[in-house]
């Protein structure tokens, strides 16, 4: 049990849990405060934005009125959150969930008395457009309250008497053992018909059935099954059900370094995550989600190959202009708060390799064939043949000058390699002679210009002396064999120079030239990639130790953010982060299967000898 403090706003990142309906999501603090909620979609303007500001920017508290200790958990194999509060006079359980929506979206909060009598407090502060707009509040004929601002309406159903106080809606109530009180917040368009009241208990049972039925299709992961299932449920929660898109995180502008400026909007879908996502889903037996993700991908990138982006909106939108919010002070004063993402306009060559790889892996995974997909691949690969030798902004989306990033060139090689392998293995028509010549040329160039003989390691960009954790992916994508001396030297160099407290940093931000001030935590997927390399190098004990260390960094309900700050001992970056949970799932499968995702992906490529 931990003592909870409602006066701490926002809470630590690890003190939040996620609830959602696969179209939007809310973050609930350990103290019972909903501090982040975007309606009607993941990337809509937040109506509860206390996470990036203060209580005045929107939150919904349901909690004991006096000092309390708390502990929480998800109901097994669901996204139903249960927080147990204990006070001097009794105990209650707060149940938070969002039913899968049929039409309208609902956030349900049920208070169950477990012992004695507990005085409770509720406070609702709705501020539309990221904490800016105060809604017009009216009382409906049936006793519910309506909150309207422009196109948005939220309806509050409450079993207790509420009152307005300082532009807030507040109330006090008491819950005794055996009693249940249910609060429902519902979203609809302000010009549409009002949502009907819902039966909270019935929706709780239905929501539990939905999650149990969905996760029951997933495959076993040995001793890590529980951790993998929690990560899969988190990924499903971040899956936009109508479109099939999987967004990177539920939040924007949670900092990579507390008080810093590396604050980005991650409520979008990155192509870079594509192959890792597909493998995580297919190896977990979730072929419907894998199929939906591939179809989303094909729709998103369709069109002029020269205009392919590295990220899209959750339904495939292309225009993601970046702007800053001046009225929010930022998470722990980390500014600016950004909406949109200008990196969507960057040239990042590695995404071409991701597209080719994910479609190749899908064919091997026996997803339904798609002839149009091959035609799209032909168009993309022909465009890549014209641009692969240009400098780009790289995997980490630097805001500084373009460079010849080694990993970008490796993924250009992957693009040609997977296109060739698909044509050869599945009888697809292609100009193989020309593609093979380009594949050989790119491979030779990377080995000549991306490898530093004095360091005995591949480097971040051509001519650089810097290391980069993206280089851990070279053996995972099959560019070189894991036991190649150049790969081993790269892994050892990263172990020596990019590890902090046993975790892997992306690169040295003080020497990166990425156009931003230095400072960030250890990037969690990179540490999983190191464990994957150790598996391929038969260093399984070390891989298992690192993986189990990473499991301890999850918060009390099994969630991971993008990064971890070893000095502060805290999660940092947007939360929860799909890439971290995808990496967790894939590493678990690498550790528990003879032929895990790392071997599947690398063996899908031609061996380096065949490219010579």
pLDDT digits (tens, 9 = 90+) for 195-219: 999 999 999 999 999 999 999 999 9
Whether residue 604 has pLDDT greater than 60: no
Q: Which two tokens stand for residue 68?
A: 């309390």
* 3-state SS, residue 476: coil
Choice among 337-346, 369-378, 402-411 with the minimum mean pLDDT:
369-378
| Cβ proximity of 82 and 93 under 8 Å | yes
Question: HSE (CB half, 13 Å, CA atoms) of 154?
Answer: 29
Tracing tokens 């109901």 back to the chain, one arrives at 75
In whole angstroms, give the CA distance from residue 155 to residue 189.
Answer: 11
pLDDT at residue 303, rounded to an integer:
85
SS3 569: coil
- Pairwise CA distance, residues 4 & 12, whole Å: 12
The span from the CA of 264 to the CA of 574, in Å, is 8
The closest of 239, 332, 331 to 277, measured between CA atoms, is 239
Instruction: Calculate the dihedral angle through the C-alpha atoms of 371, 376, 377, 382, rounding to the nearest 10 degrees.
Output: 140
Percent helix, strand, coil in the chain (nearest 5)?
35, 25, 40
**What is residue 106's three-state secondary structure?**
strand
pLDDT over 70 at 612, yes or no: no
pLDDT, average across residues 23-35: 97
Using pLDDT thresholds of 50, 70 and 90, give the confidence band for residue 168: very high
- Mean pLDDT for all residues in the chain: 93
Q: What is the pLDDT of residue 605?
A: 60
**For residue 6, pLDDT beyond 80:** no
Backbone angles phi, psi at 333, to 5 degrees: 60, 30
Six token digits for residue 283: 């190896």
If pLDDT is split at 50, 70 and 90, which confidence band does 1 have?
A: low
Tell me the pLDDT tens digit for each residue of 503-534.
Answer: 999 998 777 566 666 678 899 999 999 999 99
**If pLDDT is split at 50, 70 and 90, which confidence band does 413 have?**
very high
- Which residues in 270-308 are b (16+ Cβ under 10 Å) and which e? bbbbbbbbbbbbbbbebeebbbbbbbbbbebbeeebeeb
pLDDT score at 515:
64
Residues 284 and 228 sit within 8 Å (Cβ to Cβ): yes
DSSP single-letter state for residue 463: T
Q: Of all helices (H) and strands (E), which one includes residue 156?
A: strand 152-157
In order of their start, the domains of the chain are 2-192 (2.70.98.40), 215-611 (1.50.10.10)
Residue with the two structure tokens 């909690």: 63
H helix intervals, 224-286: 225-237, 274-283
Positive or negative: CA dihedral 215, 219, 224, 228: negative
Separation of alpha carbons 576 and 559, rounded Å: 6
pLDDT band for 253, please (50, 70, 90 cuts).
Answer: very high
Quote the CA–CA distance of 264 and 253 in Å, as a whole number: 5
The C-alpha atoms of residue 448 and residue 55 are separated, in whole angstroms, by: 56
Answer for the pair 605, 414: CB distance below 8 angstroms, yes or no.
Answer: yes
pLDDT at 4: 59
């Amino acid at each position: 049990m931990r003592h909870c403090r409602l006066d701490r706003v926002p809470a630590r990142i690890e003190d939040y849990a996620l609830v959602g309906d696969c179209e939007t999501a809310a973050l609930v603090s350990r103290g019972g405060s909903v501090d982040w909620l975007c309606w009607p979609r993941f990337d809509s303007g937040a109506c509860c934005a206390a996470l990036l500001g203060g209580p005045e920017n929107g939150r919904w508290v349901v909690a004991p009125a006096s000092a309390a200790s708390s502990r929480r958990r998800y109901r097994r194999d669901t996204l139903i959150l249960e927080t147990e509060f204990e006070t001097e006079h009794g105990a209650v359980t707060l149940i938070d969930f969002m039913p899968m929506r049929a039409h309208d979206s609902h956030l349900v909060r049920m208070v169950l008395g477990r012992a004695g009598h507990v005085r409770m407090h509720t406070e609702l502060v709705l501020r539309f457009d990221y904490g800016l707009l105060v809604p017009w509040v009216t009382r409906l004929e049936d006793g519910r309250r309506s909150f309207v601002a422009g196109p948005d309406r939220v309806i509050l159903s409450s079993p207790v008497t509420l009152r307005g106080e300082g532009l807030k809606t507040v109330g006090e109530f008491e819950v005794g053992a055996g009693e249940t009180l249910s609060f429902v917040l519902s979203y609809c368009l302000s010009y549409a018909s009002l949502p009907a009241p819902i039966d909270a208990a019935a929706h709780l049972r239905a929501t539990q059935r939905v999650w149990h039925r969905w996760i029951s299709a997933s495959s076993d992961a040995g001793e890590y099954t529980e951790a993998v299932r929690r990560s899969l449920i988190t990924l499903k929660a971040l899956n936009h059900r109508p479109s099939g898109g999987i967004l990177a995180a539920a939040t924007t502008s949670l900092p990579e370094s507390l008080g810093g400026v590396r604050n980005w909007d991650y409520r979008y879908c990155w192509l870079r995550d594509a192959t890792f996502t597909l493998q995580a889903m297919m190896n977990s037996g979730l072929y419907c989600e894998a199929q939906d993700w591939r179809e989303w991908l094909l729709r998103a990138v369709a069109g002029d190959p020269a205009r392919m982006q590295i990220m899209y909106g959750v339904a495939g939108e292309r225009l993601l202009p970046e702007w800053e919010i001046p009225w929010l002070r930022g998470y722990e004063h980390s500014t600016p708060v950004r909406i949109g993402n200008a990196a969507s306009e960057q040239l990042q060559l590695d995404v071409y390799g991701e597209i080719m790889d994910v479609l190749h892996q899908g064919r091997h995974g026996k997803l339904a064939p798609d002839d149009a997909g091959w035609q799209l691949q032909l168009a993309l690969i022909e465009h890549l043949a014209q641009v692969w030798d240009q400098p780009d902004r790289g995997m980490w989306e630097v805001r500084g000058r373009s460079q010849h990033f080694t990993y970008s060139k490796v993924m250009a090689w992957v693009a040609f390699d997977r296109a060739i392998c698909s044509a050869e293995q599945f009888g697809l028509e292609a100009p193989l002679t020309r593609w093979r010549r380009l594949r050989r040329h790119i491979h030779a160039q990377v080995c000549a210009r991306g490898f530093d003989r004095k360091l005995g390691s591949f480097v971040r960009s051509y001519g650089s002396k810097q290391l980069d954790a993206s280089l851990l992916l070279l053996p995972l994508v099959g560019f070189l064999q894991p036991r190649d001396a150049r790969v081993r030297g790269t892994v050892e160099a990263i172990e020596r120079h990019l590890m902090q407290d046993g975790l892997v940093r992306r690169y040295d931000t003080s020497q990166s030239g990425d156009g931003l001030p230095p400072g960030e935590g250890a990037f969690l997927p990179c540490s999983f990639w190191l464990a994957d390399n150790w598996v391929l190098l038969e260093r399984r004990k070390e891989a298992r130790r690192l993986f189990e260390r990473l499991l301890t960094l999850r918060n009390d309900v099994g969630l991971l953010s993008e990064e971890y700050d070893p000095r502060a001992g805290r999660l940092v970056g947007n939360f929860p982060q799909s890439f971290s949970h995808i990496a967790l799932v894939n590493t678990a499968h690498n550790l528990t299967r003879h032929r895990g995702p790392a071997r599947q992906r690398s063996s899908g490529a031609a061996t380096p000898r065949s490219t010579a």
